[in-house]
């Protein structure tokens, strides 16, 4: 593992050739470094949501950010939606329009281009740092058969190689902006913008946690819940994963 660290204003920067997981790394370093950004060329044990593995071959972007948290824990859940918006802002900077499948998967033309995993550093009841891990499929040309119809890369969309450092840098700017907005005003301040990117709105969706509910998605609440309408009732979905026809 080659570890290089420098600072850019208030942020400690780490560029790693290989690491198990940039999220694990960022969680370990946050208490000593504070705000930080850690990128790796590849990960050997990339983490996904819901305990899944994130396959991390060279060519894509693997980056984690640690931010000092000033939000009370009970208002922190939708931070992951703010991160999704920062990724959409970044892709738009490169003329690639993308959508968000609640809560935080980034899609292009019905296929996933980016996954986000937000984790917290806890000290007793307090959450001093939050770590936002972002994996963007950048230059991967082909995907294994079992995910081929669900995954896409920027290369697949634009037909050209993209500069990962340029994307990472733009992402940092957009993350700094969204995280400051979130810490100051909460998710409610960006709900409208999130809604403009919402892939599920108007579609039939099935949520399975805590029990199976099927309904039409009518948007997202000010606290970041997905809102379904079923049998004349409005049902908020707070956690987990939802399925629906996306293409």
171 part of the interface to ligand BTN, by CB under 6 A: no
Closest distance of CB 138 from ligand BTN, Å: 12
Q: In whole angstroms, give the CA distance from residue 8 to residue 167.
A: 16
Q: Where are the alpha helices (DSSP H) in the chain?
A: 22-33, 79-93, 154-158, 164-185, 191-196
Closest distance of CB 50 from ligand BTN, Å: 7
Q: In whole angstroms, give the CA distance from residue 63 to residue 11.
A: 14
Query: For residues 88-117, which are near ligand BTN according to CB under 6 A?
Result: 105, 115-117
Which residues share a beta bridge with 107? Answer: 99, 112
162 part of the interface to ligand BTN, by CB under 6 A: no
- Asked whether the beta carbons of 235 and 213 are under 8 A apart, the reply is yes
Closest distance of CB 46 from ligand BTN, Å: 4
Q: Which two tokens stand for residue 61?
A: 């972007």
Per-residue x/- mask for ligand BTN, residues 34 to 53, rule CB under 6 A?
---------x--xxxx--x-
Of 49 and 75, nearer to ligand BTN (C-beta) is 49
The owner of tokens 């995907």 is 143
Under the rule (CB under 6 A), what is the footprint of ligand BTN?
Answer: 21-23, 43, 46-49, 52, 54, 62-64, 105, 115-117, 133-135
């Amino acid at each position: 593992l080659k570890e290089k660290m420098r600072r850019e204003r208030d942020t400690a920067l780490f560029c790693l050739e290989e690491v198990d997981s940039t999220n694990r790394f960022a969680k370990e370093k946050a208490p000593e470094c504070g705000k930080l950004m850690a990128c790796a060329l590849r990960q050997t044990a990339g983490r996904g949501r819901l305990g899944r593995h994130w396959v991390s071959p060279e060519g894509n972007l693997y980056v984690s950010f640690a931010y000092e948290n000033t939000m009370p824990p009970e208002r922190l859940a939708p931070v992951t939606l703010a991160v999704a918006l920062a990724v959409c802002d970044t892709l738009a900077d490169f003329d690639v329009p993308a959508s968000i499948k609640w809560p935080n998967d980034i899609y292009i033309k019905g296929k996933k281009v980016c996954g986000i995993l937000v984790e917290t550093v806890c000290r007793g009841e307090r959450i001093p740092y939050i770590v936002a891990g972002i994996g963007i499929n950048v230059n991967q040309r082909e995907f294994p058969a079992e995910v081929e119809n669900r995954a896409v890369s920027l290369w697949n969309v634009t037909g050209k190689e993209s500069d990962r450092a340029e994307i990472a840098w733009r992402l940092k700017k957009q993350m700094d902006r969204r995280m400051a907005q979130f810490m100051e005003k909460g998710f409610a301040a960006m709900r409208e913008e999130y809604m403009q990117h919402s892939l599920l709105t108007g579609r039939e969706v099935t949520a399975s946690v805590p029990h199976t509910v099927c309904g039409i998605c009518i948007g997202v609440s000010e606290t970041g819940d997905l809102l379904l309408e079923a049998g004349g009732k409005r049902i908020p979905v707070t956690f987990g994963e939802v399925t629906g026809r996306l293409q």
